[in-house]
Copies of this chain bind each other. A is one copy, B any other.
Amino acid sequence: MSKLLQEVIGELSKLPGIGRRTALRLAIHLLRMEPESVADMTRSIDRFRQEVKYCSVCNNLSDEEICPICADPERDHSTICVVEQVADVLSIENTHQYKGLYHVLGGVISPMQGISPSDLKIDLLTERIARGGVKEVILAISTSVEGETTLFYLMNRLRPFEGLKITSIARGIGFGDELEYVDELTITHALRNRREIE
């Protein structure tokens, strides 16, 4: 078997969710692509890995020292939405509904995985709030056990800031979700937090 093929399969299958079979399929696909297209792709991967930075304000991925969202004077700098990861920022941005800023923790507290509060960008958040101007912090953390632990820890760190409004995104039945397939905890929560129809 071709050593070049074996090597590329080995390298591609290091990526998450890509087994040897998928890696082979990808490798074969590479051969159908123009060599220049493949070179564009690998160049883009290398540049991304080498040049992308973390925003010094919010810890989101950025090409500059400060990301475009934090640098945007049109956005509401008094509201910070705290999320676990970069992907969450993109999900919220895709709604085009949120005009405040973000803070990317970089994960959740997980003693099982050896992730302690000091591994997350929590100090960066409190320092940011301490500089003033922040009126509301929205916690958009997942409802896993680790998420709840992180939420609890964050609440303790944020409560000392007087006058700071701390909110959590609403939990409930998603649009398009069928009740039949929704877990009990979500249903319980959605029932407790029911709203009168106006």
Chain A residues in contact with chain B, CB under 8 A?
1-5, 7-8, 10-12, 14-17, 22, 24-31, 33, 35, 37-52, 60-63, 67-68, 85-87, 89-90, 93
Rounded to whole angstroms, the CA-CA distance of A41 and B14 in the bound complex is 9
Q: Given A15-B29, A31-B49, A4 and B86 touching (CB < 8 A)?
A: no
Rounded to whole angstroms, the CA-CA distance of A7 and B70 in the bound complex is 21
Query: In the complex the two chains form, is A68's CB within 8 Å of B7's CB?
Result: no
Chain B residue contacts of A40, Cβ below 8 A: 11
Chain A interface, DSSP helix/strand/loop, else mixed: helix
Copies of this chain, count: 2
Rounded to whole angstroms, the CA-CA distance of A198 and B11 in the bound complex is 48
Rounded to whole angstroms, the CA-CA distance of A2 and B63 in the bound complex is 5
* Chain B: minimal CB distance from A144 (Å): 17
Query: In the complex the two chains form, is A44's CB within 8 Å of B11's CB?
Result: yes
Rounded to whole angstroms, the CA-CA distance of A16 and B18 in the bound complex is 12
Interface contacts beyond A2-B63, A31-B61, A42-B46: sample of 4 additional A-B pairs, CB < 8 Å, sorted by A: A1-B90, A4-B61, A7-B48, A10-B44
Partner of A17 from the list B25, B45, B85, B89 (CB cut-off 8 Å) is B25
